[in-house]
Structure 1
């Protein structure tokens, strides 16, 4: 019985360590997600700039 407890304890510890260290690297989906986030952020910044430019152009027209 003591041997079984030791084996189960070691197996649980190995499972926890495998999960903890196995997830440290970025997978392809995480890399793709980061690229999508960056593209969305860049697109938002470009839209903000375009809106500012349009506002300035409208001010010049209606002055």
Structure 2
């Protein structure tokens, strides 16, 4: 019984040590896709800012 417990604890320890919690590395295509998404978001934000500025100018001209 003692050997069985020792064997199980050894297997548990080995499996815990060999299991990694790190994130997998991104491939170049994933990095490019993320950069494209970030660029698209930045363009949308800039377009929203321009739209707000135009609306402000139109409101100012009307008043």
- TM-score bin, normalised by smaller chain: 0.5 to 0.7
1:22 positional shift: 1.1
1:54 match: secondary structure: helix
**d(CA) in 1 for partners of 2:25, 2:36:** 19
1:51 positional shift: 0.3
Deviant stretches of 4+, over 6 Å: none
**d(CA) in 2 for partners of 1:32, 1:58:** 39
**d(CA) in 2 for partners of 1:30, 1:11:** 30
Q: Does 1:22 align with 2:12?
A: no
> What is the aligned residue count?
52
C-alpha RMSD of the superposition: 2.8
The answer for unaligned runs of 5 or more in structure 1 is none
User: More helix by proportion, 1 or 2?
Assistant: 1
Larger Rg: 2
The answer for unaligned runs of 5 or more in structure 2 is 1-6
What is the TM-score when the length of structure 2 is the normalising length?
0.60
What is the TM-score when the length of structure 1 is the normalising length?
0.60
